[in-house]
Amino acid sequence: MKNYSNIAIVASFFGLWMNSYFSTKLQIISGFILIFSFGILHGANDLQLIKNINSEKQSNSMLKILGYYVAVVLTGLLLFYVLPVVALLLFIIVSAYHFGEQLWQNLPDQFPKWVLILYQFLYGFVVLFLLLVFHTVQVQSIILIITKVSIPIAFFWIFLQISGIAFISLSTYIYWKSETIRKKILLEFFHLIVFAIIFKSSSLIWGFAIYHVFWHSIPSLIDQIKFLNGSFSIKNFILYCRTAGIYWLVSILGITFIYIIIKEEQLFNALFFSFLAAVTFPHAAVITRMFSGKKS
């Protein structure tokens, strides 16, 4: 969708304006509603994407594909139980690359592959830690619940500074080497300032929801619909929702079940992010395959 970033900026600042009228509890509820809608929906059609990516391998039935997908999710959940520190590190790495890949999928091919991958990862890492540094106490508490490890607050700022310097340095190099991408680089630095304002002014869940939905999930939905149907339209969006509906509903029911059992906020947040991480592992792999298929 052309000039979608303008819509995302308006939606983000509208969310920031609503933030001044919402209590912290209402921000959390509204944030989860956003995440449960487009945030979960954008990953609910992965099986259809896999089917289209592997269209030449019709022997792989949907039931078999579903089995593999569920196995990866369950492995991710098991990893959080057995090796939570490793699982959390993997989640951060995979999420950072996934966020960066979505935005920078059309980087010039004149650069080596490792440079493009590193650039995508650094961008996503900076976005993640921009969110974390403004909510260090709450994030520290969630990490402690998940891993039983207390991360010093200074570490969040150190990681942001290191990744920020690396991202700025690599951006300067790419800006110098490629004229075609200069406007986008400058625009995305402006967007990073917008994200910092939103993250600083919002609660952890509300800030994450604004970014995850308006800047990641909806653009991803648009790309997926284009990949599946050739173009984005309301008709194709409705078709996407019909296909993804059952998997979206199962995810919502699962999360609701967890909330009914565990109502303590910090523990639920920890379990929710663990669930989100487990689902992110296969989803990120599917989207990488989708982008590779588009380029080929």
All residue ranges of the chain with pLDDT < 50 are none
Domain coverage including residue 207: 4-295
Largest interatomic CA distance in the chain: 55
The pLDDT score that the predictor gives to residue 294 is 64
The number of domains in the chain is 1
Give the CA distances from residue 186 to residues 68, 179, 180, 193, in Å, rounded to whole numbers and listed in that order. Answer: 41, 12, 12, 11
Q: Measure the CA–CA gap between 273 and 267, rounded to whole angstroms.
A: 10
Q: CB of 46 within 8 A of CB of 282?
A: yes
The pLDDT score that the predictor gives to residue 183 is 92
The pLDDT score that the predictor gives to residue 80 is 79
218-235: per-residue pLDDT in tens? 999 999 999 888 888 889
The pLDDT score that the predictor gives to residue 110 is 83
Instruction: Give pTM, 2 decimals.
Output: 0.88
Q: Measure the CA–CA gap between 252 and 126, rounded to whole angstroms.
A: 29
> Which residues in 183-219 are b (16+ Cβ under 10 Å) and which e?
ebeeebeebbebbbebbeebbbbbbbbbbbbbbbbbb
